[in-house]
Amino acid sequence: MTTLIKQELYKISKRKTTYILPIITIVFMFLAAIMIKNVSESGDTAIDSAAYFVDLYSGLTWVVYLMIFAGSTIITQEFEFGTIKNLLYRKYSRTEILISKWMTLLIMNICYFVMTIIVAVFLKFIFYPDVTFDMTINNHSLFSAMLMNVLGNFLVTWIVLSLVLMISTLFKNSAVSVSVGIVFYFGASVLSMFQTLAIQKWDWLKWNPLNMLNVGRQVQSPEMHQMTQLSTNSMIIASFVYIIIFLAIGYYAFRSRKNI
């Protein structure tokens, strides 16, 4: 398994996008930090400025997109380049191959989080020197509020990612899986107003996967409960259940694919 993960990381390290996309993310984080400072300088309190740090100056949203891209290509590229045969005919089982890809994505995800946190701390020191780590937001220190936000975002990322991986193994096409991932992630925010109304009318709709994408925000601000109609714990558990279901369907499809 270690060999397989090393090989996956080696392939990823040779791709230009592995470096270009994070650089673009860092540029966008810089732009966000500068823009927010210029636009809101007059009326903003230190607490508002702290909230931007908790969101890692939009970095968390970009991490989701980076992971949608990584997840949609990690399996489909093997089919598109014909390299899937080289991967599968070796001594390793399909289960090992797929799990090594999941683990590689997990490692990438953690690296991206570490990168955005470091950049955000750097940005905070440059642009918001009056925001300090001992400030409290929703009864949490600034740093732990940020970490909770990262963890919530981690769950959101993996709900989207597990869906993307499922679509990848079913359709073998990166364009399809990347579109589904983005539409799903985007759809959550676009449809949130409509969803709130729908959930009020049909209670069971609160269990739909789009609602789980609010888990990141609800971990931070528990009053989101009124919108999602689910307790934070229920949301976390339901998120894990969806991740497991999506991964399991993808796994089953990959394992039982009879013609490569």
By the criterion CB under 8 A, which residues form the site for another protein? 3, 7, 10-11, 14-16, 77-78, 81-86, 88-91, 93-95, 255, 258-260
3-state class (DSSP) for residue 55: coil
At position 164, the amino acid (one-letter code) is V
CB of 185 to another protein, least distance (A): 26
Nearer to another protein, 13 or 42 (CB): 13
Query: Measured between alpha carbons, how far is 61 from 185 in angstroms, rounded to an integer?
Result: 10
Helix (H) or strand (E) holding 136: strand 136-137
Secondary structure letter of residue 42 according to DSSP? T
Query: Quick one: the chain helix, strand, coil %, rounded to 5?
Result: 80, 0, 15
Nearest approach in angstroms of CB 88 to another protein is: 6
Question: What is the identity of the amino acid at 179?
Answer: S
CB nearer another protein, residue 10 or residue 204: 10
Cβ–Cβ under 8 Å, residues 5 and 107:
yes
Nearer to another protein (CB atom), residue 226 or residue 259? 259
Q: Closest CB to another protein among 14 and 201? A: 14
How far apart, in Å, are the Cα atoms of 168 and each of 25, 50, 73, 98, 252?
A: 24, 38, 8, 12, 12
Comparing CB distances to another protein, the nearer of 56 and 66 is 66
Nearer to another protein, 158 or 251 (CB): 251
- Residue 19 C-beta: closest distance to another protein, Å: 12
Residue 101 vs residues 111, 228, 246: alpha-carbon distances, Å: 15, 32, 15
Q: Can you tell me which residue has the tokens 């969803």?
A: 195
SS3 141: strand
